[in-house]
Chains A and B, each alone.
Chain A
Amino acid sequence: MRQTLFEQEKKTTSQDPEEARTCGRLKFRLEQKIATEPLAPPADERFRAALRERFVEGTRDELPAGPGVEDVLDPSPSEARKEGQGTAWREGRLLRLLLPFAAAAAILFIAFLPRDPTWNVEFRGDGPVTLDGASFRPSENRRLGAALSRSGTLNSGGNTLTLRLDAGLEVRVLPGTQVALADLPPLDGTQPIFLSLHSGEFYLRTTPGYPGNQIRIVTDLGDVEVRGTTLGVKRGEEGFCVCVSEGTVGVRNERDDQSRWLQVEQGKRFYIPENPRAAAAIVAQEPDDAHSDGLRRYADGTSEL
Chain B
Amino acid sequence: MANTLFVRPETLTPDPFHYCPGCGHGIIHRLVAEVIDELGVRETTIGVASVGCSVLAYKYFNFDMQQAAHGRAPAVATGIKRVLPDRVVFTYQGDGDLASIGLAEIVHAAARGEKITVIFVNNANYGMTGGQMAPTTLPGQKTTTSPAGRSVDQAGYPIRVSEMLATLDGPAYIARVSIHNPPQIFKAKKAIRKAFETQLRGTGFTLVEVLSSCPTNWGMKPAEAFSWLEKNMLPYFPLGEYKAASGVSQDD
The reply to whether chain A is a binding partner of chain B is: no
> Interface of A with B (CB < 8 Å)?
none
